[in-house]
Structure formats: C-alpha cells, structure tokens
Amino acid sequence: MTEDTEGCTEESEWFTCKARSGDGINQSRRLLNSSVSLLFRSSGRGSFLPAYIRTIGIPTFTNRTTVFNLETQLTQKVRAEFIGRGKYQVLPQNTGIDALLTGEVSSVTIVPASFNTQQLASRYAITMTARIELRDMRENKVLWENPSVMFRQEYEATSGRTATDPNAFFQQDTTSLERMSTEFARTIVSAILEAF
C-alpha cells in the first residue's frame, strides 16, 4: 500500500482517496486520473493461463474459404501478436508445447455497405467467421474457445471496383487483407490472454 501526494492510497489494484471539504471537483479528477492510470498499468499484464504454460504451438490455420493465402496471413499475424506480448515462446508445431492454438476460417463474405449517388458501392463490409481453440496440452483441456468468432471490417471502394467476391476483392486491395488480419490477431490474442 502506497500513498501519493494527492491523498490517494493505492491498495493492491484499487485506489482510495480521502475526501477533503471543498475539494470535490479536484478529488473527482484525481480519482479519474488514478483509474485511468490503473487501467493502463493493468492492461495486458493479466493472464488467466496457467503459470506452467510457456510455449504455445500455433500451426497454420485451416482455410475453408476461397481466399488465397488467408490462413497463412492470419496465422503469421496471430503468432506475431503473441510474440509481441513477450511472455510466451511461440512455435509452429503441435507437439512438444504447453498449449496449442488452432484456428479454422469457415467463411469470408463481402457485401456493399454504402452507395454513392450513381448507386455504385462506395464502402464494403467484409465479415470473416472462424473457429479458434486454445488447448492445455498437459491437462488436455480447452482453456479458451470460440466456435464462431465473427470479425467485421468496412473498407472504402476504390474507383471502378464492384467486387463482391472476397478473393477478387483481396486481389485488388491487398492492404485490406493485411489490415483485417492484424486486427483479427489483436482481437483474438487479447481475448485469450485477458479472458474477455
């Protein structure tokens, strides 16, 4: 337990502030600042995974869609996101590891989300559905799973493009696949490590 110069006491993960007469606004500001500080200090450091899990195997995801190379892109981004968290060794195999993360992309759809005055699509919504599972290999039990993760992103249409086939869309705009994979990986890894 520590006390700062503003009369607030940090107890474990909570802050308690002493009330002072005539200082309600400043006290509220300190409490808000303390809460924001706590949020930033706590985010990303908690993990519900067992302490003995040090290596996570992430083999290439399965791709049940027609989008070329989607499984490779997603797998690389998820691996990079875990590595970026700095706590786990990430390996591409499914043996000799403490936990196994598997993924299967079951669908990718693209539909126009908005239209311009000529009734041409000006934005597209891309929805990807996947099954993700993290299994404890020592106990042979599922630690985290989502059998139907849905991830949706919207993208601006470039002039003259009317692609409603995901494969054609990603061939025309390769950066959208990159952005979608990065956001998907960040979302999945955060959900797993923070158990939300």
Is 0.85 surpassed by the pTM of this model? no
Looking at residue 126, what is its pLDDT?
A: 87
Looking at residue 146, what is its pLDDT?
A: 94
- Asked if residues 153 and 43 have their Cβ atoms less than 8 Å apart, the reply is no
**Residue ranges for the chain with pLDDT beneath 70:** 1-47, 158-174, 195-196
In the block, tokens 């934005």 appear at 123
